[in-house]
Amino acid sequence: MLTILAQLEIERTSERTKFGMIGAVKKGHFVGRAPIGYDKVDKKLVINDIESEVIRRIFDLYIKGMAANAITKLLNEEKVLNRKWIPTLVDRILSNEIYIGNYVHRKTIKGEEPQKFIGVAPAIIEEGIFNIAQIQKQKNLKNYKRKQTYIFMQCIKCPKCETIMGGCSSKSHTGEKHCYYQCANCKTRVSEKKIEKQMINFLDDMLDFFLLVDNTYKPYLYQETESELKKCNKIINELNQKEKRIKKAFVDGIVEEIELKDELDFIKNQRKKTEEKIKDLTIKETNEDHKSDMRFIYNLRQLEQIKKKSYYVRKNGLWDILPKEQKQEIVFKYIDYVNIEIDKKKNVSIKKININKKEIENIGYMFRENCFDILINSNDKNIILSNYQSNEDMEKYIKSLSEFYKINQTNLNIKSLNLEELNKDNNLLQIIPNKKDNRFDKETLTLLTINT
């Protein structure tokens, strides 16, 4: 009886503890030690500006294709946060929903359904980025270190069973290596060269976009400059205060010389990175002024395609001269999956290309921010579709365009628009919706045609 009563008391205490903890979490109190990226203030989690930048960097590196082991090595080489990093810690960070604000209780206990609490902490990572990282983790489980580089690794779906095809290679009698993708289930096999040949137009466009946008403008377009600058300046102030405290502690004999050196090295590295970020953010204002130039350059390239001239990328055969490692990196960045078809003669055709969701969101953002326009197809003709433009911006743009091409301009009520009819008779180049001066104005469009 005593044993049974003792067991019942243990179970009752366990239940009370569990309910007490759940009640605390619901009130926004975080139970246990604060994870990296947060400080614990009055039982609640608040974002640590310095550590949160490290968390964002870990997710960014992982999404870009760097494995947890490689990230760990990099963090240790740079002595980030002055701590020892291990792959399991990086892996736990990538899986922890606390970084999107959610707390999952009892997720490691077998046989029990975990409880999820939403909005327990301020989010460091966007939910979309977190989800992409989880998808990447599933891909990485199937992948392993290979000596050979495959351009479309983890991207090609089997045409028969839609399983992700793995990479394999063989040597010809001349010693040349040939890469293939093979399905583990139905043993379907296809040459990498055949896939690349069929996708070359898309890959050229993708590289063209990458060269134009990613390298110059993209890093600055997804940030709230003012708030980011404030955050960076706050980090600089915190580092300066920390430097004063650690020097005083050394003078008072609280810390040893080795500890002082390690802390000062850490502060120096963090200050350098933050100052570089401040410098980058100040460039954004200049780039904002040149967004119209960027749209103009982008549309000139579209015009070259419309006039059946080759792109800069195609003209110089840039895709072909890229090393395989860089091709793989660009494909990994933009493409999730490629659905292919193989006929009886083993000819390959592309059925569908699934673009990375995050990149689609980025393209949508840049279109809304008037960074560039979108190309649409009607009756096998390409037409440039713009976002809403003011009369002043439109006049400036048309004037710039007229220096290169003979442009005709007409205005049309949006209800009268029949794209197919217009494109049959006219060499329609671009459709620009006009910004309304007030809500009572009618929706109108400016149509640009080009004399070729």
pLDDT class of 310 with cuts at 50, 70, 90? very low
pLDDT class of 220 with cuts at 50, 70, 90? very low
Of 3.90.79.10, 3.40.50.2300, 3.90.1750.20, 3.90.870.10, the CATH number of 21-142 is 3.90.1750.20
Q: Is residue 447 over pLDDT 70?
A: yes
Output DSSP code: residue 211: I
Residue 158 burial (CB count, 10 A):
22
Cα dihedral sign, 81-82-86-88: negative
Question: In sequence order, what DSSP letters do the residues of 165-191 get, joined into one string?
Answer: PEEEEEE-TTS-EEEEEE-TTT--EEE
Higher pLDDT among residues 220 and 325, named by residue: 325
pLDDT for 223: 46
pLDDT class of 218 with cuts at 50, 70, 90? very low
Crossing angle (nearest 10°) for helices 225-251 and 257-289:
160
Give the separation between CA 395 and CA 325, rounded to whole angstroms: 44
Sequence-distant (6+) residues with CB within 8 A of 331 are 151, 152, 155, 203
Give the separation between CA 382 and CA 376, rounded to whole angstroms: 6
Give the separation between CA 331 and CA 334, rounded to whole angstroms: 5
Question: In sequence order, what DSSP letters do the residues of 268-337 get, joined into one string?
Answer: HHHHHHHHHHHHHHHHHHHHHHTHHHHHHHHHHHHHHHHTTPPPHHHHHTHHHHS-HHHHHHHHHHHEEE
Q: Is residue 428 over pLDDT 70?
A: yes
Per the prediction, the chain carries an average pLDDT of 77
Give the separation between CA 381 and CA 359, rounded to whole angstroms: 25
H or E element in which residue 129 lies: helix 127-142
Bridge partners, residue 381, by sequence? 378
Lowest mean pLDDT among 133-147, 151-165, 286-300, 418-432: 286-300
Q: Rounded to 5, what percent of the chain is helix, strand, coil?
A: 55, 20, 30
pLDDT for 216: 45
H or E element in which residue 116 lies: strand 115-117
* Structure token pair of residue 173: 């009698």
pLDDT for 309: 36
pLDDT for 370: 65
pLDDT for 212: 57
Q: Is residue 450 over pLDDT 80?
A: no
- From the list 38, 331, 107, the residue with the least C-alpha distance to 203 is 331
What is the model's pTM? 0.52
Q: Is residue 422 over pLDDT 50?
A: yes
- From the list 206, 40, 44, the residue with the least C-alpha distance to 119 is 44
Higher pLDDT among residues 306 and 442, named by residue: 442
Share of residues in the chain with pLDDT > 70 (%): 69
What type of residue is 399?
Answer: K
Exposure class string for 343-373: b at 16+ Cβ within 10 A, else e: eeeeebeeeebeebebbeebbeebeeebbbb
pLDDT for 194: 93
Q: Mean pLDDT throughout 174-192?
A: 89
Instruction: Give me the residue spans of the domains in the chain.
Output: 21-142, 373-452
Lowest mean pLDDT among 50-54, 140-144, 326-330, 363-367: 140-144
Give the separation between CA 163 and CA 325, rounded to whole angstroms: 24
pLDDT for 303: 57
Bridge partners, residue 9, by sequence? none
pLDDT for 306: 47
Give the separation between CA 372 and CA 290, rounded to whole angstroms: 11
